[in-house]
Amino acid sequence: MAKIQAPRGTHDILPPESRHWIEMERRTHELMRRWGFEEIRTPMFESEELFVRGVGQGSDIVRKEMYTFTDKGDRRLSLRPEGTASVARAAVEHGMLQPGRVLKLYYQGPMFRYDRPAAGRYRQFHQMGAEVIGSAAPVADAEIIGVFWAWLLEMGLQGLTVRLNSVGCPVCRPAYRERLRDFLRPKLEWLCGDCKERFEKNPMRILDCKVPGCQAEIVGAPSTLDSLGEECRTHFEEVQACLQAAGIRFEIDPGLVRGLDYYTKTAFEVHHAGLGAQSAVGGGGRYDGLVEEVGGGSSPGVGFSTGLERILLALEADGVAELAPPARPDWFVATVNSDARDEALRLVTALRRRGAAEMDLSGASLKSQFKQADRLGAAKVIVLGPREIERGVAMVRDMATHQENEVPLKELYTGGSESA
């Protein structure tokens, strides 16, 4: 029969790489606990409408990249392309947004986008992200940038830079859009087909276009920062003051606009020196209109997200070979022959209550059991033979010093004197 392969754009996470994933997740939970964020787990599919409203009809994600299908009950569903819209939906649905209460949530898991696969870019990829919902204060923006920064350091990354911008709000953005259209109008014929469409609906998205021809045309485009209203300008200055107070260095990048419709005021990205042209390892921003967009009351929020496949690429570029060393067994229980099997099973079960223990599962010779123990990096090999068992002892070999000792079985079972 023909072999069945994983779908294009997906990847299996195999050992030993799966160890990195477990370790990233472990460090994430631990860091988020210290920062006071709690985990939220939402479904991997939602109604299509959520993303159309939450991510935005005009976004590339909704226009081209969603996995949308009709289920047997005639519902239009989409595999989630990102996490924030689902978090906002769940917060509204479960009445988590109370006046005066600030929600701090994080999530991690697979996301789905029908995109062209490339190095580190998959159709099923993994994101981690956090949201602060219920505060319009600049200190909430700094909390999100701060926790992302701390998370990146916790993963062991170096050579990171925060880029910061403000994309304005529904009050000051129309004036900016007009200025941008005036700048782009004479260049319109040189822009790609997508950007020609964006020109009327959402010209800001042209600044985000990855087509080289478009990137050349937007050089010298007016900055959102020159069009900010009083409120947005003050907010932007306060966010900078908070970041300075928190000891986070940043640079202002007036060309930074994020690809999603829902961002207001703060937009930011973190870049990694080792990743080349596409150097962002993640980013986010403020989304004061999103909760209303998905049917809740007015509730401002700010968040970040990062792609874990990108993080692993960045770690590789930094020369971090291993996030977590392989688990080496403390003991390998070897048997001289099959008569010792039952005692070996009893002993390995007892040892596993105190540490990591292995035994042969294939009926191999004693010599090849020693080879297995060596390959696994076992600290000690316990040799059980019928005669030793009768005498209530076992031979224990220290694999580093090659010293052998006869140890009473009772001691091995109880861990008494820890001579083994």
Residues making contact with Zn ion (CB under 5 A): 168-169, 171-172, 192, 195, 209, 211, 214, 229, 232
Beta bridge partners of 105: 38, 131
Contact status, residue 76 vs residue 47, Cβ threshold 8 Å: yes
Please list the residues that pair with 380 across neighbouring strands. Answer: 331, 398
* 262 or 331: CB nearest Zn ion: 262
Q: Which one, 1 or 219, has the nearer CB to Zn ion?
A: 219
Between 40 and 209, whose beta carbon lies closer to Zn ion?
209
CB 286, min distance to Zn ion, A: 11
Tell me how far, at minimum, the Cβ of 316 lies from Zn ion, in Å.
31
Backbone φ and ψ of 98, nearest 5°: -105, 145
Please tell me what DSSP assigns to residue 226. Answer: G
Sign of dihedral through CA atoms 85, 256, 237, 271? positive
Q: Which is nearer to Zn ion, 142 or 172 (CB)?
A: 172
Nearest distance from C-beta of residue 232 to Zn ion, angstroms:
3
Q: In whole angstroms, what is the distance from residue 162 CA to residue 242 CA? A: 14
CB of 197 to Zn ion, least distance (A): 9
95 φ/ψ sector (left φ>0, alpha ψ -120 to 50, else beta): left
In the bound state with Zn ion, the residue whose beta carbon lies nearer, of 108 and 224, is 224
> Which stretches of 36-112 are DSSP H helices?
48-54, 60, 84-93
C-beta of 162 vs 169, nearer to Zn ion: 169
Minimal distance in Å, beta carbon 226 to Zn ion?
A: 12
Query: Would you give the end-to-end CA distance of the chain in angstroms?
Result: 51
Q: For the CB of residue 113, give the shortest distance to Zn ion in the complex, in Å.
A: 19
Distance CA 65, CA 81 (A): 8
Shortest CB 274 distance to Zn ion, Å: 27
The residues, any chain, with a CB within 8 Å of residue 387's CB and separated by 6 or more, are none
Minimum gap (Å) between residue 24 Cβ and Zn ion: 34
- Residue 99 or residue 212: which is nearer to Zn ion going by CB? 212
DSSP 8-state class, residue 191: S
| Phi-psi sector, 175: left (phi>0), alpha (psi -120 to 50), beta | alpha
Instruction: State which residue, 212 or 247, has the beta carbon closest to Zn ion.
Output: 212
Choice between 13 and 192, CB closer to Zn ion: 192
Token output for 44: 């991997």
Q: How far apart are CA 367 and CA 264, in angstroms?
A: 67
* Least CB distance to Zn ion at residue 31 (A): 33
**Which residue from 208, 154, 209 is spatially nearest to 31, judged by alpha carbons?**
154
Q: Are strands 380-384 and 331-335 parallel, antiparallel or unpaired?
A: parallel
The secondary structure element, H or E, covering residue 201 is helix 193-201
Instruction: Report how far residue 376's alpha carbon sits from residue 370's, in angstroms, rounded to the nearest whole number.
Output: 10
